[in-house]
Amino acid sequence: MPNALPLPEVARLALQCLDLTSLNDADTPADIAALCQRAQTRFGPVAAVCVWPRFVAQARSLLPASIHVAAVANFPAGALDVALALSDVKAIKDAGGDEVDVVLPYRALMNGQTAECADFLQQVREASRPLALKVIIESGVLASPALIAQATQLALAAGADFVKTSTGKTPVSATPEAATEILREIATSGSPAAGFKASGGIRSVPDAKLYLDMAAAALGADALTAKRFRFGASGLLNDIEAVLAGQASAPSTSAY
């Protein structure tokens, strides 16, 4: 269990579960080259890099097969736009990507369009096979436990490999409260291989430890591998490397 591990071991575990991300509107090939170089740290590799679909081929060419390439679909707006999402998925597959992070049409869900959201996810799931599929539910906007639970249920029913909290593009990203709801649904869903991705606002190893502890409590310590647990972060790697180099960690910014 992470709560029994010293902080450097937590940092090493977080590194192994990290999706190193660059999703800035102004990203260039030079930015992606730097990202891919950064993903191969002196302490070991990250789990994946996450980029825009247009950079998948470049990232794949710069990384060893052991580091997955993820890219986003229907991102970040999360409109109820199946054609856009399927176009993104096709681009990711054709370019050699390994994983798709798709945004659930969360505002449509908030408007009661449950069947339409379920159909959207089913079509994306079928189109994305055999790639791993992470469904971003935008939990900070859904806000209520009931809506977060419903979005998680829809994602799991469609066959998502991971349920992911956030795009990182809204004022509220990952929170322990949202993680509680998502992990509860995963644990009781009958989907034993489904995983959880905490994304947005996680910048310190103590923050990461909080989510690792929660996942271990809900899903078991065996779930704390890149196959079932991920962090979506760009800033977290700085603190991971600091801790692994023997320096002090940044203080936690998450309250629970």
**Strand duo 44-45 + 48-51: pairing:** unpaired
**Is 227 a known active-site residue?**
no
Respond yes or no: is residue 197 known to be catalytic. yes
DSSP-assigned beta bridge partners for residue 135: 102, 163
- Given the residues 98, 101, 207, 213, select the one marked as catalytic: 101
SS3 254: coil
Place of tokens 């929170």: 175
Rounded Cα–Cα distance for residues 149 and 215 (Å)? 16
The rounded distance, in Å, linking the Cα atoms of 32 and 28 is 7
User: Contact, 159 vs 133, CB < 8 A?
Assistant: yes
Q: How far is CA 61 from CA 55, 185, 227, in A?
A: 10, 37, 22
The one catalytic residue in 19, 98, 134, 164 is 164
- Catalytic one of 93, 134, 197, 209: 197
Active site residues: 101, 164, 197
